[in-house]
Amino acid sequence: MSQNPTQIIVFDTTLRDGEQAPGFSMDVPSKLTIARALEALGVDIIEAGFPIASPADSEATRQVAREVRRPVIAALARTRQADIEEAARALEPAERSRIHTFLATSDLHLERKLRISREACLEQIIDGVRLARNFTDDVEFSAEDATRSDRDFLCRVVEAAIAAGATTINLPDTVGYATPEDLREFFEEIRLRVPNADKAVFSTHCHDDLGLAVANSIAAVQGGVRQIECTVNGIGERAGNASLEELVMAFRVRRDRLPYETAVKSEGLYAASQLLSRITEEPVQSNKAIVGRNAFAHEAGIHQDGVLKDARTYEIMRPQDVGQEPEQLVLGRHSGRHAVQKRCEMLGLLLTHDELGLVYHAVITMGEHRKAIGDGDLRRIVERVRSGETAGPGNASAHPEAVGSGHGVS
C-alpha cells in the first residue's frame, strides 16, 4: 500500500457486509462479476466474503482470490481457529491476501452476547491475530462495536492486537451511533494513547443508522485514519454502510478542505452502481447522491436556465466525472422554455418562435398529469403543433420567458 500520507486505502466490502443485507444475496458467479468490476474501478482491497458462514461463501472467496489479481483479497473470520483456518484455505489462490479477524469489545456485547470477560476477550484477540499471522503477513483486526467500548480497555486491545501482528486496526461504528465530532476525537485519542499505534494502519467502518456514515468516515480520516471500509451504493446491514461513490467524490470535489485522494477511477462509479443494481435486482434510490438517476437531473425552469448557461450554477461536479450522461434536462410542469428548446434541438427539431411557444405550453400542460415527458412525447407534441392540432397561446408572453412556470427556487 502507498505510504503517501494523503492517500486513502479503499477497502470495499460490498461482497461481504453489503451482501449480508436482506435482498442483496449473490451467488458465486455474481460475486465474481462484481469483484471484477471493483478491480476495474481501482479499489485497493476487496473483502470477498465470510468463508466460515457457508460453503458458497467460501467458494466465492476462493474464486475471487483466483481470478482477481490486482487488489488485495480479504476474508472475514471471527477470532476462532476454525474461522481463521477456513479463511486461509479460501484465500490460498490469492496473489495478495488479508485475513480480517474480529471480536466485539464493548461491555454490552461482552456481557450480553458473548458472555465473556474483558480478559478472556483480550486473550482471544491475541490468539486469533497470532494464528492469522501464520497464514499471511497482512492481518486486520476489528474491534466490533468499538465506538461504544470502554476507551481504556479499547486502548489495551489495540496495543495487544498490534503487538500480536495486526497490521491494520479497524475500529468500527458498528451501529451507526457516533457523530463526526465523536469519531474524529475518538481516533485522535486512540492513536495518541496506544504506544505502538504507528506500527499499524487505522481503519474506519461506519454504518448509516443515523445517516452519518459518510460524514463519520470523513471525520475519521481527519482524525488520522487511512483506510475506509465502504460499499457500492452504500449497501449493507440495516441502513447500510458508507457509500464508496460519495466518499470518492467528496475527496475529489472538496480538495480544498479534504486534501486526500483515492485510486478509484471515478468515471466508473455509475457503471458499477448500475451493475450491482441489476445483479441484486434492488433499485438505486432515484435521488441517491452521485449515482441516482436524479443526481444530475434538472426539471425546475430556474435550474435548467442556469445549467444551460453554465453548468456550474447547479452542478458541483460534471456528470461525466462519475460516468453519468451530461445535460439531463427533465421536461415536466416545472420546466422552462429554454430547456424545451434545447431538448428539441437535441432531437433535431428546430422550432420557430411561435412553434416554441405552442410546444412549451403543451409540455407544461402535459406535465400536470405526467411525472416526466420523454423524447417520444416531445416528438408527438411537435408533430401536432406543426399539423395545427394543438391549440394554445401563440405568443411567447403567455408564460415567463426564461424560467418557465416560475417554480423551482431552492
- Domain layout of the chain by residue ranges: 9-280, 297-398
Separation of alpha carbons 172 and 350, rounded Å = 57
CB atoms within 10 A of CB 226: 21
3-state SS assignment for residue 18: helix
Residue 23 or residue 223, greater confidence: 223
Grid cell, residue 112, equals 450480553
Which of the four CATH numbers 3.40.50.300, 3.60.15.10, 3.10.580.10, 3.20.20.70 does domain 9-280 have? 3.20.20.70
CA 62 to each of CA 269, 336, 375: distance values in angstroms, whole numbers, following the listed order? 26, 55, 47
Q: Which amino acid type is present at position 193?
A: R
- What is the structure's pLDDT at 395? 38
* β-strands 45-49, 297-298 pairing: unpaired
pLDDT tens, 248-305?
999 999 999 999 999 999 999 999 999 999 999 999 999 999 999 889 877 777 787 7
3-state SS assignment for residue 260: coil
Confidence check: pLDDT of 153 > 90: yes
Residue 322 or residue 294, greater confidence: 322
Provide the mean pLDDT of the chain.
92
3-state SS assignment for residue 362: helix
Confidence of residue 327 (pLDDT cuts 50, 70, 90): low
pLDDT tens, 344-385?
998 899 999 999 999 999 998 998 888 778 889 999 999 999
Contact between residue 70 and residue 263 where contact means Cβ atoms under 8 Å apart? no
Contact between residue 143 and residue 102 where contact means Cβ atoms under 8 Å apart? yes
CA 167 to each of CA 141, 155, 163, 202, 394: distance values in angstroms, whole numbers, following the listed order? 8, 16, 9, 9, 72
Confidence check: pLDDT of 410 > 60: no
- Once rounded to an integer, what is the mean pLDDT over residues 132-139? 98
Separation of alpha carbons 14 and 49, rounded Å = 9
Residue 393 or residue 151, greater confidence: 151
- What is the structure's pLDDT at 390? 62
Beta bridge partners of 204: 228
pLDDT tens, 3-24?
688 999 999 999 999 999 988 9
3-state SS assignment for residue 343: helix
- Once rounded to an integer, what is the mean pLDDT over residues 116-145? 98
